[in-house]
Structure 1
């Protein structure tokens, strides 16, 4: 059995036995680049990203968290679900399933694809890339909603799960372009933001996508899993003179908060979890934090407008799943909440971090740079709940503790003082002062004009 076959065989076993005892019946599943990564994983520490075990740190989290600002990193997003959608009606189906207008969708172009349920809640979201006239690749935390919805209709299209067959590596930061041009041996300055094309690394075909999950100049490399080790190693070697760092799982989500990007399964829960199209990749654990929902699990769901993904003008007339619900929301004045940033008071945060060195009752521990699962905290204005904070992160780039916050429009003004209630309801809770901040937290450099570099 070759590497590609072994990867798929293990992936299928994990999916089939996802509720079985770990190792005893359900095998451990690693990145297709695990062999190359192991050379630098001196601590030998791993954690799960969906079903995949990835190294937690290569050097240290602070150095890795800064890499996309000071130089660049290579990070492994191969854990993402990867679904090929093909067929005569593939684009029509995807246009109905997502909010984005796909009538102008060029070959190689990339679009953020936000998929709703009939109530207008976000059910799934990810990146859609057009590979051919009738072929599209959807990469996301989960593609299960897409696959299930396609099976509910009579579309002339097919969806194929190619998750174990392909790798996705992110290379983000000001040195990303120099690194990848050295890696491929050609100029990549023709690739505009949200565009992609094929290239080669030592004869191995790879697709280079210009993306911006870090808020900096950035790219992704997509290719066949059988060559993942070679591509990872070559990228690290080529990026060495430019200061590249390998990004561990501990640091991976930090940049999303700095860039003001809400993450599925961390900053909100997808509405698809209540349906047969429930995501298989996020099945364990419960949200932490001080927030206590009034209406059950749906209080963790979000409308697209609450996450900054709404329409600039009125809801368009074209047909897509959830449109009627969004139109009704708009007629009633919109969702009423919006996404902002919060900058937490350093003195209050320090009091929590050092509580274990003093006396008295201990609050919930505050992991750094951030917790590894979803956590939702109450945000108070004048003692009343007015929002929900998520993604609390210690940012070494900003030298501050920050988070995202879905808050009532009336309190979304930059500079507004609020209070975050820290800690679960059954623990000694602490009040943390915070200030409303515009997003993103740092300048958006995703669309850097590379012709000037």
Structure 2
């Protein structure tokens, strides 16, 4: 249907849940090499030496400029803007009118009243909608991610992280790189090329995410690879990259809280039937007919501390009420070795008597994977984005658990696999479910024992 909207697509199919649980897009493949060496060594590099990730293609960039730039962002974001400006960045979180998260992205201050928002489309679409339909004196420009963009990107975006990252940067800069606070930016050199870097520390070790004009990307990478050889620098492919967020604790794709409610209807009518929100898939053992049951709050995602009531923004009143209540808390689950071996062993079983396959190293068969976490017969939370980590030598997932149930070392059960043999998603084979034992844990490599 030409020019069909998300709203009309939901109405045609019957519900947002049916639309997403049976989406036919298949798993997302990052548009870079799957491996440059092997994903196990690449995973270990960000903890033992250093890793170079190419982030130039899979995220959309939204550039906003004008006198009302910060006014627009402040009206949408839960974050404070009292301390924001050029050469600073923040995890920008936007919510719907009921206080549920639409998305999060990285917001870069690149000049006076000029910013760049980088990330998956939900946040960027929400900001674009308000920039176009609201009374804001701003101009916007989108540099779409490569999946939707046949043109070359405007910038390259790389990340070098790991215990040896600082030595590599000093070598290519011709001397020490200036110090900057976490999520602050500065300029330095990579050989003959000037770059802007963000102190990001994705892996928990020093390092930078940095960028520059796209036509300099190959040359910059060459300088880094040659200089980093003596420090054990490895190129990271898509297979290892897809696991890094889980080890560091970032939930890559919250369910956009846009699919229901009269207040969000105009936005659903603005979004197209082929937008990210319209083709994203929903998977896992947790099933509800109500799409709003899949929504997350800022506290679920570990963003509660970012919510500041020092300005007016969409969702503020609802979040002020939420702040008074108990929340789910983001943690990690360490999956039981023997139960994981059962999953792989079931591949030898005949017929449909097998468990849902665990793709190595990231078993992400849906855009929004949500599996039930059970304890003493009660659901206490949701598990999401299971991965194998060579650093941990085991399977882990992120989870959102009722805060009173977050006791490190406690054993819970993850219901792995979809009910009734599985949905109609192309990435779902016929299978049966398995209760997988897991232990609640803090962030990997902290000193807290479980």
Q: Scaled by the length of structure 2, what TM-score is found?
A: 0.81
Partner of 1:441: 444
Indicate the SS of the match to 2:340: helix
1:344 equivalent to 2:328? Answer no
Answer whether contact 1:49 1:249 (CA < 8 A) is retained: no
Matched, 1:295 2:274: no
1:10 match: none
Aligned to 1:366: 358
Matched, 1:430 2:434: yes
Q: 1:157 aligns with which of 120, 138, 147?
A: 138
Q: Secondary structure of the equivalent of 2:299?
A: helix
**Hey, what does 1:169 align to over in structure 2?**
158
185 and 221 in structure 1: CA distance in 2 versus 1, 3 angstrom threshold: same
Please list the CA deviations of residues 56-91 of structure 1 after superposition, one character each: whole Å capped at 9, or x if unmatched. 111111111111001111111122111111111211
Q: 1:72 to 1:286 in 2, by over 3 A?
A: same
Q: Is the 8 A contact 2:35 2:237 kept in 1?
A: yes
Q: Does 1:328 align with 2:307?
A: no
Cα distance in 1 for partners of 2:187, 2:200 equals 15
Matched, 1:144 2:125: yes
Q: How does 1:131-280 map to 2 (within 5 A)?
A: 131-142=110-121, 143-163=124-144, 164-264=153-253, 268-272=254-258, 275=268, 276=270, 280=275
Where 2:436 maps in the other structure, the secondary structure is strand
Residues 1:291 and 1:257: Cα distance change in structure 2 (over 3 Å): same
Take 1:66 and 1:327, find their aligned partners in 2: how far apart are those partners? Answer: 42
SS of corresponding position for 1:291: coil
Query: CA, structure 1 residues 162+205, in 2 after alignment: closer, same or farther (shift >3 Å)?
Result: farther
Q: Is the Cα–Cα contact under 8 Å of residues 215 and 259 in structure 1 kept in the other structure?
A: yes
Contact 1:111–1:194 at 8 Å: present in 2 too? Answer: yes
Gaps of 5+ in 1: 1-15, 17-46, 445-453
Whether the 8 Å contact between 1:124 and 1:272 is mirrored in structure 2 is: no
Q: In structure 1, what is the Cα distance between the partners aligned to 2:226 and 2:278?
A: 37
347, 366, 371: which one aligns with 1:377: 371
Q: Distance in 2 between matches of 1:399 and 1:355?
A: 21
Q: CA deviation at 1:293?
A: 2.1
Contact 1:61 1:251 in 2 (8 A): yes
Structure 2 runs not aligned, ≥5 long: 4-25, 145-152, 261-267, 422-430
**Shift of the alpha carbon at 1:410?**
2.6
Per-residue Cα deviation, 1:151-172 (whole angstroms, up to 9, x for no partner):
2211122221135211111111
1:261 is paired with a residue of what secondary structure? coil
1:286 lines up with 2:272 in the alignment: no
Q: Select which of 347, 352, 373 maps to 1:356.
A: 347
CA distance in 2, matches of 1:53, 1:306: 30
Deviates further, 373-382 or 56-65: 373-382
Task: Using the TM superposition, give the Cα deviation of residue 294 of structure 1 relative to its aligned residue in structure 2, in angstroms.
Answer: 4.0
Q: What corresponds to 1:19 in structure 2?
A: none
Once residues 258 and 222 of structure 2 are traced to their aligned partners in structure 1, the CA distance between those partners, rounded to angstroms, is: 37
Say which of 72, 91, 95 aligns to 1:116.
95
- Are 1:56 and 2:37 matched, yes or no? no
Cα deviation code 1:31-80 (max 9, x no counterpart): xxxxxxxxxxxxxxxx9867x62211111111111110011111111221
The answer on whether the counterparts of 1:182 and 1:238 sit within 8 Å (CA) in structure 2 is yes
Cα distance change of structure 1 residues 330 and 282 upon mapping to structure 2, 3 Å threshold: closer
Aligned-residue offset at 1:359:
6.6
**By how many angstroms is 1:284 displaced?**
4.1
User: Could you state the TM-score of these two structures normalised by the residue count of structure 1?
Assistant: 0.80
1:345/1:271 Cα in 2 relative to 1: closer, same or farther (>3 Å)? same
Q: Residue 108 of structure 2 contacts residue 116 of structure 2 at CA under 8 Å; is this kept in 1?
A: yes
Higher relative contact order, structure no. (Cα contacts within 8 Å, ≥ 6 residues apart): 2
- Contact 1:379–1:387, Cα closer than 8 Å, also in 2: yes
Matched length: 391
**TM-fit CA distance, 1:286:** 2.2
Q: Output the CA distance in 2 between the equivalents of 1:272 and 1:185.
A: 49
Shift of 1:282: 6.2
Question: Displacement of 1:272 after TM fit?
Answer: 4.4
Q: Would the alpha carbon gap of residues 273 and 207 (structure 1) be closer, same or farther in structure 2, given more than 3 Å must change? A: farther
CA distance in 2, matches of 1:388, 1:48: 20
> 1:400-439, CA deviations, whole angstroms, 9 ceiling, x for partnerless residues?
211111122231221222101111111321111111112x
Partner of 2:304: 310
CA–CA separation in structure 1 for the residues paired with 2:28 and 2:220: 21
- Separation in 1, partners of 2:162, 2:245: 13
Q: Distance in 1 between matches of 2:142 and 2:161?
A: 26
